[in-house]
Amino acid sequence: MFSRVFTSSVARTATSSFAAVPRATPFVIRAAAAATPLRFYGAGPSPLSVAQVQERVLNVLKDFDKVDASKLTLDSHFITDLGLDSLDQVEITIAIEEEFNIELSDRDADDILTPRAAADKVPCPFEAREMEARED
């Protein structure tokens, strides 16, 4: 009789203690949805012309808070004509880098003192720059 009571109590204790433990559910890895590329390289839209680059540089500067749009031309000097300081010059350089998705060296960034100089730092096809030089 003792063995029957002992085995039944052990069996009840064993099953009740295991029943209280939560069971782990299997982790299923599902295939991700097809990724869509953010940028396409290769044969894309035609490169920008010099005039388009200059226009976009002027638009970046017009959006800058401290620039008076009425004083803005391609040859406006950032410090003397527009009243900007060196920190503003750095912010403008960063904005131009972001606009055209380029990275300028520190030496090139220091040379940017006018919108025309900024536009000249943006890579354009050689033929477009050559034609602009002929027109002048």
Of 85, 108, 110, 120, the active-site residue reads 85
User: What's the N-to-C CA distance of the chain in angstroms?
Assistant: 115
Measure Cα distances from 121 to 51, 81, 102, 110 in Å.
Answer: 13, 21, 10, 11
DSSP code string of 57-96: HHHHHHHSTT--GGG--TT--TTTTT---HHHHHHHHHHH
- In our burial notation (b when 16+ CB lie closer than 10 A, e otherwise), range 22-61 reads eeeeeeeeeeeeeeeeeeeeeeeeeebbbeebbebbbebb
| Structure-token match 């900024």, residue found | 118
Based on the residue annotation, tell me whether 106 is a catalytic residue of this protein: no
What are the structure tokens assigned to 136, written together? 């002048």
Give the residue numbers annotated as catalytic, written as ranges: 85
